[in-house]
Structures are given as structure tokens and as C-alpha cells.
Amino acid sequence: MRSYRSCLFLVLLLWCGAVSAERIKDLVSIQGVRSNQLIGYGLVVGLDGSGDQTTQTPFTVQAVLNMLSQLGVNLPADKLTSIQLKNVAAVMVTATLPPFARPGQTIDVVTSSLGNAKSLRGGTLLLTPLRGADGEIYAMAQGNVVVGGAGASSAGSKVQVNHLSAGRVPSGATVERAVPARLGQEDSVQLELTTTDFGTVSRIVTAINQRFGEGVASALDGRAVRVAAPADASERVTFIAQLEALEVIPAQTAAKVIVNSRTGSVVMNQTVTVDECAVAHGSLSVVVSTEPVISQPAPLSQGETVVVPRSDVQLRQDQGSLLVIPRGASLADIVKALNSIGATPLDLMSILQAMKSAGALRAELEVI
């Protein structure tokens, strides 16, 4: 029974430590198959008094006047300065045009307030052309804006849930122009890894050549693989589908520690190790408090009552801890050891930077 449990534990240990294979589709992208960003300027109308304050956003009034003039409505010149629009908001409209999108298909759009509108909830986006980086119109957007929030204010009090100055129009844009793709114009396709890794490129080339024949795939550099493909478009689609379904075990990633200095987040991957080192941790805090003290003059002294601030400075230092981390410690050992001495995420950033400077941290330290 004991030997059976030992064998079972060994199998579980090997199974947990095994690296799972991933599809080539999840590791690479195909050159030429990409999305494109679209942007436009539009108006959201039908707001319940939560639109732009036109005295501070003159571009909203100008956009409304241009729209009305195109519809045959012309206002007297002496009335232009007195226009007050409370139900209209100027917005920037953005969308992502997916690859192989055809005219007539619909895509989602996002509207974001450009002025000082309080809320876009309940508004309707008017017909807005969406342009690409080349200045050409690729889609037209219009529809009801969906805002995932709510809010109310009265007499200086305000309650708000989520963000109200941005919303989404599901299937709100219709594609008017397709972006030409070069997928079927060459005798090969090029696979591009999401991250540079020579080991993974080599394994992808080996897997493709074993499946389709020697010489079908060749590595260009640490990120690109060229694969010979059929010239016929229909055969090429089937070939790429089979190519993406192949499974490859990625090479072990480089040891890296990511530190976000704004939020205090620290993320380490499983390949991070350290050499033997000693870490001392302690915190020093200085607290300065000021309390007003009223000083009154003596009777009949003709003095004035004054308020004199009295400051109290306190210096506190927590007892430091000295911890020895053995050589070759894994990520779990590092986290457990630093937690045992009460290191916070901010402390952890300083400790890791000091370990890197001392040459004890076997990882790339990146601060974002």
C-alpha cells in the first residue's frame, strides 16, 4: 500500500511538472491577417439634460450647425451666440475593422465623450463616418448608445455607478469598404510569433516539416517562420487551418520580473531563481501631527486671543528581520520567504531591485 501511494505521488508530481503543448494558432499570427483601427467624430443626441455645456465646448455647437446646414436648416447669424444645447454631446467614435471584413457586415463601435457631458446614457449616435489611417471611409456608424452605468445628482450630492461618459453601440457600424488582403498572392505564408523566442521558432519549424515534409518551413529569425503554401486560394485556407492545429511545446520562457511602479504590482514567472543571499527588512515611519491651541491673554492686559499651532513629531521603526534565501530557490520559495518577514508589494519592489543590483536575482527586472 505504501509503495502504491509513493508511485501515485510520483505520477502526480510528473504530471504537474509536465509542460503542456499549445497550438501554433495560439503562438503565432499570420502576416497580412490583421485588424485595422477606425476613428470618427460624431454627435450623440437625445440626452436628458446631461450633454455638453456649449459655453465651454464651442465645437459641439459648430458640429450641430454644420449638420443642420446639410439638412437644409439655416439659423440667423444673431442667434448663433445664444444657442444652448443640453441634450447633445460631441463624441469620438472608435472601432476595430477585423481582417477579411466585407461591405455590408456590421462591427461594434465605442463612443467616448469629447467635451464635458455628464452622461451618454439614453443617447443616440448620429450617422458618423469612420476613417482609417489613410483618411478613407471604411464604415458608417449609427445607433443607440449602451452605457454600463447609472448616476443621479441633486443639491450638490451625487451618486454614480461605473463610467457614464463612454458607451458602446453593438453592431453599430456597417462596413463600406474592404481592406485588401495579400494572403493568396504569394507562394508562401509567414508566421510571426507574439514574442521573440529562437527555441520556439525552431520547434515550430520541426513540427511543420515533420507533418508536411522536409523543407516546407524555414526560420527567418527569432520571430518569423516562412512556410511554403499552395497557390490556390481554397487549398491555402485548408492548409493554414491544418497548420494552425499543430501542437508545439514552447521553449522555456526567460526569467522575468515585472514591476508596476504605479500600482505596486509585482509579477514573476516560474523560471525566476536566486543565488544565496541575505535580506534584511524593516520599516521606518515618521508621523507629524499638528493641533491648534488657543492662547488667551491675561485679564485687563488688552491682548488678543490667538490660535497657535502645536506640532508633535513621532518616529517609529519596526524591528527588522534578517532572512537567508538559499541558492536556487524557486518562485514559491521566494514568495514564502518574503511573506514571512511581512514584505508588502512596495517593499517587494525595493527588495527585488536590491537583489538584482547585488547579482543574486537570476531574472530580468522590468519596471513599467
Residue-level pLDDT, tens digit, the chain, 368 residues: 444 344 433 333 333 444 578 888 888 888 888 899 999 999 999 888 888 887 778 888 888 888 888 888 887 766 655 667 788 999 999 999 998 899 999 999 999 999 888 888 889 999 999 999 999 999 999 999 998 766 666 555 666 666 788 889 999 999 999 988 776 567 888 888 888 888 888 888 999 899 888 888 888 888 899 988 887 777 888 888 888 888 888 887 777 788 776 776 777 777 777 777 777 766 555 555 667 767 777 676 666 776 666 666 555 555 656 666 666 666 667 777 777 766 777 777 777 777 778 777 777 777 77
Do the domain assignments include residue 210? yes
The reported pLDDT for the residue numbered 143 is 93
Residues 171, 189: one domain?
no
Is-contact 256 362, C-beta < 8 A? no
Please state the domain count of the chain. 3
Do the domain assignments include residue 139? yes
Do the domain assignments include residue 192? yes
Is-contact 23 246, C-beta < 8 A? yes
Residues 50, 121: one domain?
yes
Do the domain assignments include residue 15? no
Residues 171, 44: one domain?
yes
**200-223: string of b/e by CB count within 10 Å (b at 16+)?**
bbebbbebbeeebeeebbebeeeb
Residues 63, 143: one domain?
yes
202-206 own/partner pairs: CB under 8 Å, 24+ apart? 202/251, 203/248, 203/249, 203/250, 203/251, 204/24, 204/27, 204/28, 204/248
Residues 188, 103: one domain?
no
Residues 203, 329: one domain?
no
Residues 53, 124: one domain?
yes
Structural domain of residue 281, as residue ranges?
Answer: 257-367
Q: How far apart are CA 59 and CA 92, in angstroms?
A: 12
Residues 322, 355: one domain?
yes
Q: Write down which residue in 203, 231, 248 finishes a domain.
A: 248
Do the domain assignments include residue 13? no
Do the domain assignments include residue 345? yes
Q: Write down which residue in 248, 267, 299 finishes a domain.
A: 248
Do the domain assignments include residue 307? yes
The reported pLDDT for the residue numbered 185 is 62
Residues 242, 200: one domain?
yes
The reported pLDDT for the residue numbered 128 is 94
Q: Write down which residue in 219, 248, 277 finishes a domain.
A: 248
Residues 265, 243: one domain?
no
Do the domain assignments include residue 156? no
Residues 134, 51: one domain?
yes
Residues 264, 328: one domain?
yes
